[in-house]
Amino acid sequence: MLVETHNLGVHRSGRWLIEHVDLTVSRGEIVTLIGPNGGGKTTLVKTVLGLEAPDAGSLHRAPGLRIGYVPQKFHLDWTMPLTVSRLMTLTVRASRAEVLVALEETGVGHLMQAAVQTLSGGEMQRVLLARALLRDPGLLVLDEPVQGVDFTGEIALYELISGIRRTHGCGILLVSHDLHVVMREADRVICLNRHICCSGVPQTVASSPEYRKLFGPRAAQAVSVYQHHHDHAHALDGSCPGDHDHGHDHHTPSGAVDSHGEHETERGDA
Ligand SMILES: Nc1ncnc2c1ncn2[C@@H]1O[C@H](COP(=O)(O)OP(=O)(O)OP(=O)(O)O)[C@@H](O)[C@H]1O
């Protein structure tokens, strides 16, 4: 077990931001937090990281646990000239070779000397992920890692995250609003609306009344139709190199078949 909370609560400005939260993340596991805006996801993540102090319950981290964190908001002075390689080593000591390995792992090795200001949203997220990997973390905490990324890019990014879990053997705690892809990549989903409304394997959560009440029946339907496995990679620009024959059809929520694999048609309304 990397992290374990029991009955965790955070109280600020006269109210409980989260309460009665039992959470565990184990090595090699992807746990995803979903929930409405203001439901307390970032508060829980910050408490796990030790950035917020709990007011109730208990929190245990494995001794010596190294945590790599990609925050929801990354504060940067955009007027300051900064290359990707410099950003990578602002807070972590690493050789040029180590920086390159991390950037290559997230598919942006070619951007090592680029100015951070010129990066697209998706490139920036990959650089921040590489930066978190530089710490060789036992636990990766990713707060909305696909923000600023188009839908095809989201799938590629989640597949990358899933691959990192396999190659590094780390646990991953991730926050996302993207129910559709989350449900495909997560081992366990926790739906947080100040307290835990429902949790479990994606299929269980998707069919729970609490989840349907929060996100609507179409979200659950979108999950259930996206049960196939991707056997191809998407390039950063969204194109599919090589043959795009998946060997299967893409089913839209309406039941129609989308032979071009346009993922947008499968997306649920969250
Ligand atoms: N230090 C604080 N003091 C008082 N209220 C706070 C504090 N930090 C967060 N909040 C409030 O707590 C609630 C939960 O915020 P949090 O950022 O954890 O939610 P979230 O689930 O991550 O939301 P989102 O999906 O919009 O990112 C919000 O209403 C927020 O305004």
Residue 266 placed within a domain = no
- Take residue 129 and report the two structure tokens written for it: 């992920």
48 lines ligand 1 (CB under 6 A): no
Q: Is residue 270 part of a domain?
A: no
Mark whether 185 and 232 lie in a shared domain: yes
Q: Are residues 52 and 171 in the same domain?
A: yes
The answer to the question of residue 269 being in a domain is no
DSSP one-letter code for 265: G
Are 9 and 60 part of one and the same domain?
yes
261 lines ligand 1 (CB under 6 A): no
By CB neighbour count within 10 A (0-12 exposed, 13-18 middle, 19+ buried), where does 259 fall?
exposed
The preferred substitution site among 41, 44, 173, 194 for testing ligand 1, maximizing ligand atoms within 8 Å of CB, is 41
* Residue 175 CA, closest ligand 1 atom number: 22
* Cα radius of gyration rounded to whole Å, the chain: 19
**Structural domains of the chain, count:** 2
For residue 48, what is the domain's CATH number? 3.40.50.300
How many Å lie between the centroid of ligand 1 and the Cα of residue 43?
6
Q: How far apart are CA 247 and CA 225, in angstroms?
A: 16
Q: ipTM of this model?
A: 0.97
The boundaries of the domain holding residue 144 are 3-66+137-258
Scanning the structure block, which residue is given the tokens 């999950």? 223
**Are 62 and 82 members of one domain?**
no
Same domain for 150 and 108: no
DSSP string, 104-116: HHTT-GGGTTSBG
Q: Per residue of the chain (270 residues), what is the pLDDT tens digit?
A: 999 999 999 999 999 999 999 999 999 999 999 988 899 999 999 999 999 999 999 999 999 999 999 988 777 777 888 999 999 998 888 999 999 999 999 999 999 999 999 998 889 999 999 999 998 999 999 998 887 788 788 888 888 999 999 999 999 999 987 777 777 778 899 999 999 998 988 888 887 888 888 877 666 665 553 343 334 443 444 343 443 333 333 333 333 333 333 333 333 333
CA of 15 to the centre of ligand 1 (A): 11
Res 261: pLDDT: 32
Is ligand 1 within 6 A of the CB of residue 13?
yes
Q: Cβ(17) to ligand 1 under 6 A? A: yes
